[in-house]
Amino acid sequence: MVKIRQVKRVSGKCWTCAYINELRQLKREKESADACKHLMVMHRGGLFMLERIEYRRRIAEAVIHSPNTVMSSIIDGASQNHCTIPHPGTNVEFADGLPQHIEGVLTHGHCFTIYRSFPTVDADADFTIFCLLSELQKWKDAHDGIFPETWYIQIDGGSENANKYLLAALEYLTAKRLCKKIVLTRLPVGHTHEDIDACFGTLAAWFDRVIIQTPDGYKEQIEAAFNGDSTKLKCKVTDVFVVPNYKDFFSPYIDSKFCRYTKKEWTQHQYRFEAVTISTEFPLGSKLTYRKYSSDRVVVIDKKPIFSCTTREGIITGNKNFLFNYVLFITF
Protein backbone atom coordinates (compact mmCIF):
# COMPACT_ATOMS: atom_id res chain seq x y z
CA MET A 1 0.00 0.00 0.00
CA VAL A 2 1.37 3.41 -1.01
CA LYS A 3 0.55 6.35 1.21
CA ILE A 4 0.76 9.81 -0.34
CA ARG A 5 1.58 12.56 2.09
CA GLN A 6 -0.56 15.65 1.72
CA VAL A 7 1.14 18.97 1.04
CA LYS A 8 1.09 21.17 4.12
CA ARG A 9 -0.82 24.41 3.69
CA VAL A 10 1.90 26.42 5.45
CA SER A 11 5.54 25.29 5.54
CA GLY A 12 6.75 26.22 9.01
CA LYS A 13 6.47 29.91 9.85
CA CYS A 14 8.15 31.35 6.77
CA TRP A 15 5.75 33.71 5.03
CA THR A 16 7.48 33.20 1.67
CA CYS A 17 6.91 29.43 1.83
CA ALA A 18 3.31 30.05 2.88
CA TYR A 19 2.65 32.38 -0.05
CA ILE A 20 4.20 30.01 -2.56
CA ASN A 21 2.12 27.13 -1.22
CA GLU A 22 -1.02 29.25 -1.48
CA LEU A 23 -0.11 30.15 -5.05
CA ARG A 24 0.19 26.45 -5.84
CA GLN A 25 -3.36 25.93 -4.61
CA LEU A 26 -4.82 28.91 -6.48
CA LYS A 27 -3.03 28.45 -9.80
CA ARG A 28 -2.77 24.85 -10.95
CA GLU A 29 -2.01 25.29 -14.65
CA LYS A 30 1.40 24.01 -15.72
CA GLU A 31 2.95 27.40 -16.39
CA SER A 32 2.01 28.68 -12.95
CA ALA A 33 3.11 25.44 -11.30
CA ASP A 34 6.53 25.75 -12.95
CA ALA A 35 6.79 29.38 -11.86
CA CYS A 36 6.02 28.39 -8.25
CA LYS A 37 8.66 25.67 -8.45
CA HIS A 38 11.20 28.24 -9.66
CA LEU A 39 10.26 30.58 -6.82
CA MET A 40 10.82 27.83 -4.24
CA VAL A 41 14.18 26.89 -5.78
CA MET A 42 15.26 30.54 -5.64
CA HIS A 43 14.05 30.84 -2.06
CA ARG A 44 15.87 27.69 -1.00
CA GLY A 45 19.10 28.16 -2.92
CA GLY A 46 19.24 31.93 -2.81
CA LEU A 47 18.46 32.55 0.85
CA PHE A 48 18.33 30.01 3.63
CA MET A 49 20.78 27.53 2.08
CA LEU A 50 23.29 30.38 1.70
CA GLU A 51 22.75 31.24 5.35
CA ARG A 52 23.42 27.63 6.30
CA ILE A 53 26.61 27.61 4.22
CA GLU A 54 27.84 30.65 6.14
CA TYR A 55 27.01 28.86 9.39
CA ARG A 56 29.06 25.84 8.31
CA ARG A 57 31.93 28.11 7.33
CA ARG A 58 32.00 29.60 10.83
CA ILE A 59 32.01 26.10 12.34
CA ALA A 60 34.92 25.07 10.12
CA GLU A 61 36.89 28.12 11.22
CA ALA A 62 36.37 27.22 14.88
CA VAL A 63 36.95 23.46 14.62
CA ILE A 64 39.50 23.09 11.81
CA HIS A 65 41.29 26.32 10.94
CA SER A 66 41.61 28.19 14.27
CA PRO A 67 40.57 25.89 17.15
CA ASN A 68 42.72 27.73 19.71
CA THR A 69 41.42 31.23 19.01
CA VAL A 70 37.89 30.81 17.62
CA MET A 71 34.83 29.45 19.43
CA SER A 72 31.51 28.50 17.83
CA SER A 73 28.30 27.79 19.75
CA ILE A 74 24.63 27.25 18.98
CA ILE A 75 21.89 27.45 21.61
CA ASP A 76 18.31 26.23 21.47
CA GLY A 77 15.56 24.89 23.70
CA ALA A 78 14.15 21.38 23.48
CA SER A 79 10.52 20.61 22.77
CA GLN A 80 8.48 20.26 25.94
CA ASN A 81 6.99 16.94 24.76
CA HIS A 82 9.74 14.93 26.48
CA CYS A 83 10.53 17.25 29.39
CA THR A 84 8.00 16.18 32.01
CA ILE A 85 8.74 13.92 34.98
CA PRO A 86 7.64 11.16 35.35
CA HIS A 87 8.33 10.34 31.72
CA PRO A 88 6.22 7.36 30.56
CA GLY A 89 8.06 6.52 27.33
CA THR A 90 5.47 5.92 24.62
CA ASN A 91 2.67 5.43 27.15
CA VAL A 92 0.04 7.99 28.10
CA GLU A 93 1.60 10.96 29.85
CA PHE A 94 0.80 11.90 33.44
CA ALA A 95 -1.68 14.72 33.89
CA ASP A 96 0.22 16.55 36.65
CA GLY A 97 3.88 15.89 35.98
CA LEU A 98 6.84 18.04 36.99
CA PRO A 99 7.80 20.31 34.06
CA GLN A 100 11.43 21.01 33.18
CA HIS A 101 13.08 23.36 30.75
CA ILE A 102 15.87 21.86 28.67
CA GLU A 103 18.29 24.31 27.04
CA GLY A 104 20.98 22.83 24.86
CA VAL A 105 24.27 24.49 23.95
CA LEU A 106 26.45 22.82 21.34
CA THR A 107 30.02 24.14 21.32
CA HIS A 108 31.47 22.74 18.13
CA GLY A 109 34.48 20.53 18.56
CA HIS A 110 34.02 20.34 22.34
CA CYS A 111 30.79 19.08 23.86
CA PHE A 112 27.01 19.26 24.03
CA THR A 113 25.71 20.65 27.32
CA ILE A 114 22.17 20.45 28.61
CA TYR A 115 21.20 23.19 31.05
CA ARG A 116 18.15 21.97 32.96
CA SER A 117 15.90 24.19 35.04
CA PHE A 118 12.61 23.81 36.86
CA PRO A 119 9.68 26.27 37.15
CA THR A 120 11.58 28.25 39.79
CA VAL A 121 13.81 29.63 37.01
CA ASP A 122 12.26 31.44 34.05
CA ALA A 123 13.46 30.43 30.59
CA ASP A 124 14.11 34.01 29.52
CA ALA A 125 17.00 36.26 28.51
CA ASP A 126 18.70 35.83 31.91
CA PHE A 127 18.77 32.06 31.46
CA THR A 128 20.16 32.30 27.91
CA ILE A 129 22.92 34.70 28.96
CA PHE A 130 23.82 32.44 31.89
CA CYS A 131 24.10 29.39 29.62
CA LEU A 132 26.28 31.17 27.07
CA LEU A 133 28.59 32.66 29.70
CA SER A 134 28.95 29.22 31.28
CA GLU A 135 30.05 27.84 27.90
CA LEU A 136 32.55 30.68 27.51
CA GLN A 137 34.00 29.85 30.93
CA LYS A 138 34.33 26.16 30.03
CA TRP A 139 36.10 27.03 26.76
CA LYS A 140 38.50 29.26 28.70
CA ASP A 141 39.24 26.48 31.22
CA ALA A 142 40.00 24.07 28.38
CA HIS A 143 42.45 26.54 26.77
CA ASP A 144 44.79 27.35 29.67
CA GLY A 145 42.74 30.27 30.96
CA ILE A 146 42.67 32.16 27.64
CA PHE A 147 39.40 33.48 26.20
CA PRO A 148 38.69 33.07 22.47
CA GLU A 149 39.56 35.98 20.23
CA THR A 150 36.42 35.35 18.15
CA TRP A 151 33.15 33.84 19.30
CA TYR A 152 30.43 32.83 16.82
CA ILE A 153 26.97 32.36 18.35
CA GLN A 154 23.99 30.92 16.49
CA ILE A 155 20.44 31.41 17.81
CA ASP A 156 16.85 31.18 16.64
CA GLY A 157 14.22 33.90 16.82
CA GLY A 158 12.75 32.96 20.21
CA SER A 159 12.23 35.84 22.61
CA GLU A 160 14.64 34.27 25.10
CA ASN A 161 17.41 34.52 22.47
CA ALA A 162 16.62 37.46 20.17
CA ASN A 163 16.45 40.27 22.70
CA LYS A 164 18.27 43.47 23.62
CA TYR A 165 19.67 42.06 26.87
CA LEU A 166 21.70 39.42 25.05
CA LEU A 167 23.01 42.10 22.70
CA ALA A 168 23.99 44.22 25.70
CA ALA A 169 25.78 41.29 27.34
CA LEU A 170 27.80 40.56 24.21
CA GLU A 171 28.78 44.20 23.82
CA TYR A 172 29.84 44.18 27.48
CA LEU A 173 32.16 41.23 26.82
CA THR A 174 33.93 43.06 24.00
CA ALA A 175 34.08 46.31 25.99
CA LYS A 176 35.81 44.37 28.77
CA ARG A 177 38.18 42.83 26.17
CA LEU A 178 37.23 39.24 27.06
CA CYS A 179 36.70 38.65 23.34
CA LYS A 180 38.00 40.73 20.46
CA LYS A 181 35.06 39.87 18.22
CA ILE A 182 31.64 38.30 18.79
CA VAL A 183 29.28 37.52 15.91
CA LEU A 184 25.65 36.75 16.77
CA THR A 185 23.63 35.19 13.93
CA ARG A 186 20.11 33.83 13.58
CA LEU A 187 18.63 31.90 10.68
CA PRO A 188 15.53 33.19 8.84
CA VAL A 189 12.17 32.46 10.42
CA GLY A 190 10.84 29.05 9.50
CA HIS A 191 14.28 27.71 8.53
CA THR A 192 16.02 27.47 11.90
CA HIS A 193 16.61 23.70 12.10
CA GLU A 194 20.32 23.00 12.52
CA ASP A 195 22.79 20.50 13.96
CA ILE A 196 21.61 21.04 17.53
CA ASP A 197 18.17 19.74 16.51
CA ALA A 198 19.84 16.45 15.59
CA CYS A 199 21.05 16.26 19.20
CA PHE A 200 17.51 16.78 20.45
CA GLY A 201 16.35 14.13 17.96
CA THR A 202 18.77 11.67 19.55
CA LEU A 203 17.23 12.43 22.94
CA ALA A 204 13.68 12.06 21.62
CA ALA A 205 14.43 8.65 20.11
CA TRP A 206 16.11 7.52 23.33
CA PHE A 207 13.25 8.71 25.56
CA ASP A 208 10.74 6.73 23.52
CA ARG A 209 12.42 3.56 24.82
CA VAL A 210 12.69 4.37 28.52
CA ILE A 211 10.45 5.14 31.49
CA ILE A 212 11.80 7.76 33.90
CA GLN A 213 10.41 8.44 37.35
CA THR A 214 12.84 10.87 39.02
CA PRO A 215 14.87 14.00 38.10
CA ASP A 216 18.12 12.12 38.77
CA GLY A 217 16.97 9.31 36.51
CA TYR A 218 16.15 11.84 33.77
CA LYS A 219 19.65 13.29 33.99
CA GLU A 220 21.22 9.83 33.81
CA GLN A 221 19.20 8.93 30.73
CA ILE A 222 20.22 12.13 28.91
CA GLU A 223 23.89 11.39 29.42
CA ALA A 224 23.41 7.71 28.56
CA ALA A 225 21.82 8.66 25.22
CA PHE A 226 25.12 10.24 24.12
CA ASN A 227 27.94 8.87 26.22
CA GLY A 228 27.26 5.25 25.36
CA ASP A 229 28.18 5.84 21.70
CA SER A 230 31.80 6.74 20.92
CA THR A 231 30.78 8.29 17.59
CA LYS A 232 28.69 11.00 19.28
CA LEU A 233 29.65 14.11 21.19
CA LYS A 234 29.86 13.77 24.94
CA CYS A 235 26.92 15.27 26.78
CA LYS A 236 26.80 16.76 30.26
CA VAL A 237 23.74 17.88 32.19
CA THR A 238 23.99 20.97 34.39
CA ASP A 239 21.14 21.76 36.76
CA VAL A 240 20.40 25.47 37.13
CA PHE A 241 18.51 26.59 40.24
CA VAL A 242 19.29 30.31 40.18
CA VAL A 243 20.63 32.81 37.64
CA PRO A 244 21.78 36.44 37.99
CA ASN A 245 19.38 39.21 37.04
CA TYR A 246 21.19 40.38 33.94
CA LYS A 247 18.16 42.29 32.68
CA ASP A 248 18.15 44.67 35.65
CA PHE A 249 21.91 45.07 35.35
CA PHE A 250 21.84 46.13 31.69
CA SER A 251 18.46 47.92 31.49
CA PRO A 252 19.66 51.38 32.66
CA TYR A 253 22.24 51.46 29.86
CA ILE A 254 20.00 50.39 26.95
CA ASP A 255 18.39 53.06 24.77
CA SER A 256 14.64 53.08 25.46
CA LYS A 257 14.03 53.72 21.74
CA PHE A 258 15.91 50.59 20.68
CA CYS A 259 13.14 48.43 19.24
CA ARG A 260 11.77 46.56 16.17
CA TYR A 261 15.14 44.91 15.54
CA THR A 262 13.48 41.46 15.53
CA LYS A 263 10.18 42.41 13.88
CA LYS A 264 9.10 41.62 10.32
CA GLU A 265 10.96 43.59 7.64
CA TRP A 266 13.15 45.34 10.24
CA THR A 267 14.68 42.06 11.42
CA GLN A 268 18.47 41.95 11.39
CA HIS A 269 19.94 38.44 11.24
CA GLN A 270 23.55 39.19 12.15
CA TYR A 271 25.23 41.42 14.75
CA ARG A 272 28.98 41.91 15.00
CA PHE A 273 30.64 43.25 18.14
CA GLU A 274 34.30 44.28 17.88
CA ALA A 275 36.73 45.62 20.46
CA VAL A 276 38.14 48.93 19.16
CA THR A 277 40.16 51.82 20.52
CA ILE A 278 38.17 54.02 22.90
CA SER A 279 37.20 57.25 21.14
CA THR A 280 34.44 59.84 20.95
CA GLU A 281 32.58 57.64 18.50
CA PHE A 282 33.08 54.46 20.54
CA PRO A 283 33.30 55.57 24.20
CA LEU A 284 33.07 51.98 25.51
CA GLY A 285 35.67 50.65 23.11
CA SER A 286 33.11 48.37 21.46
CA LYS A 287 31.84 48.73 17.90
CA LEU A 288 28.48 47.25 16.86
CA THR A 289 27.54 46.64 13.24
CA TYR A 290 24.61 44.66 11.88
CA ARG A 291 23.17 43.53 8.58
CA LYS A 292 20.07 41.88 7.21
CA TYR A 293 21.66 38.47 6.52
CA SER A 294 25.02 36.82 7.16
CA SER A 295 25.53 36.15 3.43
CA ASP A 296 26.94 38.95 1.30
CA ARG A 297 24.24 38.46 -1.34
CA VAL A 298 20.86 36.76 -1.13
CA VAL A 299 17.71 36.41 -3.22
CA VAL A 300 14.66 37.84 -1.47
CA ILE A 301 11.15 37.13 -2.74
CA ASP A 302 9.11 40.18 -1.89
CA LYS A 303 5.56 41.47 -2.29
CA LYS A 304 5.14 44.23 -4.88
CA PRO A 305 2.20 45.93 -6.66
CA ILE A 306 1.07 44.11 -9.81
CA PHE A 307 2.32 46.85 -12.14
CA SER A 308 5.83 46.42 -10.67
CA CYS A 309 6.07 42.73 -11.53
CA THR A 310 8.50 42.57 -14.42
CA THR A 311 10.04 39.13 -13.84
CA ARG A 312 8.62 36.06 -15.55
CA GLU A 313 7.53 34.53 -12.24
CA GLY A 314 5.91 37.75 -11.07
CA ILE A 315 3.95 38.16 -14.31
CA ILE A 316 2.76 34.54 -14.37
CA THR A 317 1.64 34.50 -10.73
CA GLY A 318 0.03 37.95 -10.87
CA ASN A 319 -3.59 37.91 -9.76
CA LYS A 320 -5.65 40.99 -8.87
CA ASN A 321 -7.64 38.99 -6.32
CA PHE A 322 -4.61 37.49 -4.63
CA LEU A 323 -3.13 38.88 -1.40
CA PHE A 324 -4.76 42.29 -1.56
CA ASN A 325 -3.51 43.16 -5.03
CA TYR A 326 0.02 42.07 -4.19
CA VAL A 327 2.01 39.24 -5.73
CA LEU A 328 5.44 37.70 -5.30
CA PHE A 329 8.30 39.58 -6.86
CA ILE A 330 12.00 38.77 -6.94
CA THR A 331 14.52 41.39 -5.81
CA PHE A 332 18.29 41.10 -5.61
125-142 vs 164-175: helix axis angle to the nearest 10? 30
Looking at the structure, tell me whether residues 45 and 115 fall in a common domain: no
327 belongs to a structural domain: yes
pLDDT value, residue 304? 67
1 belongs to a structural domain: no
pLDDT value, residue 193? 81
Give Cβ neighbours of residue 123 (< 8 Å, ≥ 6 apart).
77, 101, 103, 117, 160
298 belongs to a structural domain: no
* Structural domains counted in the chain: 2
Nearest residue to 253 (alpha-carbon basis) of 161, 178, 153, 167: 167
| 261 burial level (CB within 10 Å; 0-12, 13-18, 19+) | middle
* Alpha-carbon gap, residue 7 to 12, rounded angstroms: 12
Looking at the structure, tell me whether residues 40 and 22 fall in a common domain: yes
161 belongs to a structural domain: yes
| pLDDT, one tens digit for every residue, the chain (332 residues) | 554 444 444 444 787 888 888 777 777 778 778 878 888 888 888 888 989 999 999 999 999 999 999 999 999 998 877 788 888 877 766 778 889 999 999 999 998 999 999 999 999 999 999 999 999 999 999 999 999 999 999 999 888 999 999 999 999 999 999 999 999 999 888 888 889 998 998 888 888 888 898 999 999 999 898 876 665 678 999 999 999 999 999 999 999 888 888 887 788 999 999 999 999 999 999 999 999 988 888 887 776 666 666 666 666 665 433 333 333 434 43
Looking at the structure, tell me whether residues 24 and 94 fall in a common domain: no
Nearest residue to 16 (alpha-carbon basis) of 54, 53, 46: 46
> In Å, how far are 135, 138, 190 from 296, measured between CA atoms?
29, 32, 21
Looking at the structure, tell me whether residues 17 and 89 fall in a common domain: no
249 belongs to a structural domain: yes
Reduce the secondary structure of 8-71 to three states and give it as a string: CCCCCCCHHHHHHHHHHHHCCCHHHHHHHHHHHHHHHHHHHHHHHHHHHHHHHHHHHHCCCCEE
Give Cβ neighbours of residue 327 (< 8 Å, ≥ 6 apart).
303, 304, 306, 309, 314, 317, 318, 319
Looking at the structure, tell me whether residues 24 and 168 fall in a common domain: no
Looking at the structure, tell me whether residues 93 and 48 fall in a common domain: no
2 belongs to a structural domain: no
Looking at the structure, tell me whether residues 187 and 249 fall in a common domain: yes
114 belongs to a structural domain: yes
Looking at the structure, tell me whether residues 263 and 312 fall in a common domain: no
Looking at the structure, tell me whether residues 60 and 141 fall in a common domain: no
3 belongs to a structural domain: no
| 217 burial level (CB within 10 Å; 0-12, 13-18, 19+) | middle
Q: What is the pTM of this model?
A: 0.87
Looking at the structure, tell me whether residues 230 and 244 fall in a common domain: yes
Q: Which domain holds residue 307?
A: 8-65+303-332
* Alpha-carbon gap, residue 136 to 72, rounded angstroms: 10
Question: Rounded to the nearest 5°, which phi and psi values hold at 130?
Answer: -60, -45
Looking at the structure, tell me whether residues 113 and 179 fall in a common domain: yes
- Coil, helix or strand at residue 266: helix
Looking at the structure, tell me whether residues 93 and 55 fall in a common domain: no
- Coil, helix or strand at residue 139: helix
Question: Cβ(269)–Cβ(275) under 8 Å?
Answer: no
